[in-house]
Structure 1
Amino acid sequence: MTEIRHIVFDIGKVLIHYDPEIPFRRIIADDRRRAWFLSEVCSPQWNVEQDRGRNWQDAEMELIDRFPDEADNIRAFRQNWNEMVPYAYERSVAILQQLLSDGHDVTMLTNFASDTFREAQAKYPFLVASRGVTVSGDIGIIKPDPAIYARHTKDFGLEAAATLFIDDSEKNVIAAREFGWSAVLFEDAEGLVRDLSDRGIAVD
C-alpha cells in the first residue's frame, strides 16, 4: 500500500450536519405534504443542480413555473438554508484539526452551491483551515464525475496513489477509487479513526 500523504475530506454529513427537513417541519407541518414537497418539488435532484452551479433565482423560477401554488415554499428553501446546517460533528472536526496540527496535507472536496458554501465557511471557521477546497458550484462539476477528482488532484498537486478520500456517499467513494485514490466510506468518527489507523495515520 502506498503511503498516504494527502487527505481529502468531504464536508456535508462528514464534518457538518445537513437536513432540509429541519426548517420545513415548521414551514410545512403536515408530514405527508412535507415529504411530498421535499421529494417532488425541492427534491435532491433539483438541489444538486445548484451544487453544479445553477443560480438560485433560475432554480426557483424553474420550479415556480411547474408548481405555482408552492412559490412561497420554494423560495423558503434558500431563505431558510442556514437552518439546514445546524451543527458540526465535533469528533470529526477534532480529527480534522489534529491531522492539520500534526502536519498532514489536508484539503476538502465538496458538492456545494457556491453561495451557501461561503455562508457555511462563515458559520464554521474550520472550513477555511485546510490547504484549500474544491467546491462543485465554483467549477460546474459534481461528484461522482471523475473530472472533479482530476481537477482536485491537478489544482492541489496531489499524487493520486498517495491520496485518501473520506466521503459519506458510497458512489463518490467508488468513483474516487476508480480514479486512483484510496477512499473510505464515512459512517462515524470512530470508524474514521480506524480507517486512518489502518493506513498508518494515528489520531487520538
Structure 2
Amino acid sequence: MTVDIVVFDIGNVLIEWQPERHYDSVIGKDRRKEMFAAVDLHGINDKVDCGAPFRATIEQATEDYPEFKDEILMWYFDWINMATPAIPHSVALMRALRAKGVRVVALTNFGIESFEFAETKYPFLTEFDKTYVSGRMGCVKPHSLIYEMLEAGEQATGAQFLFADDRQENINAAMRRGWKTHLFNGPSGWAQRLVFEGLLTDAEAAG
C-alpha cells in the first residue's frame, strides 16, 4: 500500500530533547545523577504531556522533594534549553515532503503550554498539515488510544502511514496497528527511508 501520510515525532527527531545534558552543564553530573535517582522527573513530565498544567505540576514536585527544589524548578524555567537544538536535516525533510504535496503530521508527547512555547522558538513546528499533541489529546505514546485518535483524525489506517520516532516502544505500538515505521537514530537514515518509499528523490532528501 502506498504511504499517504508521513508522521513525525518531534523530540529527538526534529528537536534534540536532552534534559540530562543540560543539567550536567549547569549543576554537574554527580548532582544530576543524585537528583534523578531520587526524583522521577521524566515521570512527572509525563503528567504534563497528558495535559496537566506545566508550572503547577513542577512546583508540586518541589514540595515533595524540597531538597532538590532549585534543580526541579529548572525543568520549568530552563525547559527550552533542554529542548535544543533543532535537527536541520530533519526539518528539511519535512519541508521537502510538504513541497511535493505529501501530507505530513506530527504525533508528539508534549505539554500544552510547552508546545505553544516551542512553536515560538521553532516556527517550523507550525508548518505541519496537522499536529497531534498529547497534552491536548489527554493521552501519550505508546498508549494505543493516541494512535487510534490520529487514525480517526486522518481518516486513514495501517500502511497508509509512515511513522518516525526515536523510541522503540512507540514504534512497536504503531507496528501493532499496521503502520509502516522507522526507528529514528539520525536524519540520514530517515532520508534513506523516505527515498526507499518513493516519497523523495535522492536530491530532495539530501537536505
Same fold (TM > 0.5): yes
The aligned length equals 202
Query: Partner of 2:104: helix, strand, or coil?
Result: strand
Gaps of 5+ in 1: none
Runs of 4+ in 1 over 4 A off after TM superposition: none
Conservation of the 8 A alpha-carbon contact between 2:6 and 2:103 = yes
SS at match of 1:11: coil
Q: Could you tell me how far 1:158 is from its partner in structure 2?
A: 2.6
Pair 88,39 (structure 1): closer, same or farther in 2 beyond 3 Å:
farther
Give the alignment's Cα RMSD to 1 decimal. 1.6
- The aligned residue for residue 2 of structure 2 is 3
Matches within 5 A, 1:12-161: 12-29=11-28, 31-161=29-159
Structure 2: runs of 5 or more not aligned:
none
Percent identical pairs in the alignment equals 31
Partner of 2:198: 200
Asked if 2 retains the 8 angstrom alpha-carbon contact of 1:42 and 1:77, the reply is no
Q: Distance in 2 between matches of 1:99 and 1:182?
A: 16
> What do the CA deviations read for 1:61-82 (whole angstroms, capped 9, x no partner)?
4422321222222222101111
1:47 Cα deviation after fit? 1.6
Which amino acid in 2 is paired with 1:82? I
Distance 1:57 1:98 in 2: 36
Q: Which moved more, 1:177-186 or 1:55-64?
A: 55-64
Give how far 1:42 is off: 5.0
Counterpart AA for 1:88: A
